[in-house]
Amino acid sequence: MTEVPATSSDQPGTAGRVNLLDFDRQGLRDFFAQLGEKPYRAEQVMKWIYHHLESDFANMTDVGKALRAKLEASCHVGPPKTLVDKAAADGTHKWLLGMDGRNAVEAVYIPEPTRGTLCVSSQIGCALNCQFCSTGAQGFNRNLATAEIIGQMWVAAKHLGNVTHQNRRITNVVMMGMGEPLANFDNVVKAMSLMRDDLGFGLASKRVTLSTAGMVPMIDKLSDVIDVSLAVSLHAANDELRTELVPLNKRYPLAELTAACQRWIARKPRTSITFEYTLMKGVNDQPEHAKQLIRFMRRLPTCKVNLIPFNPFPGTRFERSDAETIRAFQTQLLNAGILTMLRRTRGDDIDAACGQLAGQVNDRTRRSAGIRQRVEQGVTHAS
């Protein structure tokens, strides 16, 4: 683990200046128009920010000196400050990124032979209180601004030496970090448009994935405004159990979620939805649970299942299913013709695996206090 000096957002003199990471392409063009500048100047600066990962206007050499001075006086490029930088034995990388005085979020990079995936957070904590997720146990503080979301990718790209359209260390982005992305809709959509924009990070639509616990109205809205991939955190295929694990299911039960997914597929017939299913010992890993999942998936025949072995964290009452149970569950789905993948656990030695992201949350819900009390009393499991 390495302690890292604060980045540009923590430098003195930025207070009151506009953070250019808050703008998508059209927003940046509009802002430059307000400055009395031609729109193409905004696109020049955008390339410097995202292709060259440059935060110092003085180094933007094809931008006129007068404009550089104007930008220096009124703007800054302010990614989040890096508080902690951790690398796992398997090459997974995690950054703790400061967002304000007492809050920080985590972003994770997962390298594989043919791709590199960055897991990005959308909120400080999470209000949904999913029972098996470390982020949910931390409580909730607020939504992240666009600059704080795309800034996570900017920091990771800078650290990894990513060069847009040339040396892609980050080939995929998943909005699967801390928070429910669809609860922060506008800021998340702007950030994803920067991930996709050729003047931004230039990723194809299939390489940017948003994961939701099932905010049905926002799934429909998302399909209207941006072309990205969709993942749904399912974890149970009957309403009673899913409501226990994912309380949002009480508001949007499985029938409504299924209908929203069918509408998504109808609008984007060449796409698929991935359903994430975290396997927990004795909770949702039995043959009858697999049968329920098979029935659910038959309503969405072009979609697939991603099985995730549960990753423990301090304060949880859940345990990971054993390897034999996991294999049997997957085999049952495969034999039924359901495309089923098993996610390999990565980065668990630095608490960077799926469901383990916690960050630092000044909790407004007081949820985290109860978790801490139970840990201290020794009544729940710790990793």
- For residue 233, list its beta bridge partners: 276
CB contact set of 56 (below 8 Å; sequence gap of 6+): 77
- Give the residue carrying structure tokens 């990753």: 311
Q: What are phi and psi of 246, to 5 degrees?
A: -125, 90
Q: Does residue 4 have a pLDDT over 50?
A: no
Note whether 82 and 152 are within 8 A (CB). no
List, for residues 341-357, the tens digit of each pLDDT value: 998 765 555 454 554 55
Q: Does residue 283 have a pLDDT over 60?
A: yes
- Give the residue carrying structure tokens 């801390």: 178
180 is in an annotated binding site: yes
Q: From CA 10, how far away is CA 18, in angstroms rounded?
A: 14
Note whether 88 and 350 are within 8 A (CB). yes
126 is in an annotated binding site: yes
- For residue 143, list its beta bridge partners: 123
303 is in an annotated binding site: no
133 is in an annotated binding site: yes
List, for residues 150-190, the tens digit of each pLDDT value: 999 999 999 998 877 777 899 999 999 999 999 999 999 99
Residue 47: closest CA among 30, 33, 59, 35:
59
CB neighbours (10 Å) of residue 349?
14
Q: From CA 257, how far away is CA 253, in angstroms rounded?
A: 6
Note whether 322 and 279 are within 8 A (CB). no
130 is in an annotated binding site: yes
Choosing from 37, 75, 106, 119, the catalytic residue is 106
Q: From CA 40, how far away is CA 367, in angstroms rounded?
A: 48
For the chain, give the percent of residues with pLDDT over 70: 88
Note whether 321 and 311 are within 8 A (CB). no
Choosing from 75, 119, 303, 354, the catalytic residue is 354
Is this structure's pTM higher than 0.75? Answer: yes
Asked if 354 is an active-site residue, the reply is yes
Residues comprising the chain, all counted: 383
